[in-house]
Structure 1
């Protein structure tokens, strides 16, 4: 009999949430809403927003230019986000942000490859050929020679930009 009372007490336990914690949660949802509003159209399409009212509010916020109106619209978006399940929205946004970070890392790697090619010349072309099997050795040599010539003559780095674009093409293939 005593065990049954303990089970009932545990089931009826009320979880206390402070007002400060509720306010922090509301501000987090509003910040997520603001971040979603700032996304480009293509990025916004990747976010799963099932609620029509929320989707309409986000589209409205994207058109508002007046500061005070935009602030009020953001508060409204935060209010709407409290009523919907935001786990999928937050997960999609985090995935989008992680993808941006990965793109930036790849971009920096390609910049390092380009700089390494320009500095060390023909030796590093073989490394690039090993990494990218479909690279054109002669075209790489021409670009590296042109880039070194531009550096030597203090000209704008057009060839190094071409080299970077070519490396980016190779990495995308």
Structure 2
């Protein structure tokens, strides 16, 4: 006979552990209910879960909301929670990968604003960038800085770079036609 301690995966999960898992999934579902519909669309949730969350948002009666959140928790049992938790940690600013990506964007913006020779390097690394838009934003950002104006173009440059430089671990957005169907 083999020792049961060697086969940790074969041991049954305790009732208490199952209950903790169910409650954790319910809590995760509750966090999803608090997000905007646009944010939820970016998460690529299963359609039935997405619809249940949307339904919960429109309920006003306390009892109906409570039942719907329990139903969302039930649907969450069939969903891998790891990508959802990862996306939520990014939204909360707790993700090291996300923070590193933001720092990368900031470094690139500073390089582009201080050195004209960096634009060809940036374009070589990220060929999908709109060259004309970048040049305009860089020129305007430099002008704003010299005139001590608010850094509107610098912020717009940062946003444009966010579209070009992919965030690690985040799936690409679905095309807009699929978003409109939901």
TM-score by length of 1: 0.57
The SS at the match of 1:110 is helix
1:113 to 95, 108, 111: 108
Higher helix share: 1
Q: Deviations over 1:87-109 (max 9, x none)?
A: 43535635755887677754543
Contact 1:58 1:77 in 2 (8 A): no
Q: Does 1:32 align with 2:28?
A: yes
How far 1:23 moved relative to its partner?
3.4
1:122/1:97 CA distance change after superposition, 3 Å: same
Aligned residue pair count: 152
Larger radius of gyration: 1
Give the gaps of 5 or more residues in structure 1.
4-12
Equivalent of 1:48, from 46, 62, 66?
46
| TM alignment of 1:77-96, pairs within 5 A | 77=71, 81=74, 86-90=77-81, 93-94=84-85
Distance in structure 1 (CA, Å) of the matches to 2:44 and 2:83: 7
1:64 aligns with 2:69: no
Q: What is the aligned-residue RMSD (CA, Å)?
A: 4.3
**Aligned residues of 2:126 and 2:164 also touching (Cα < 8 A):** yes
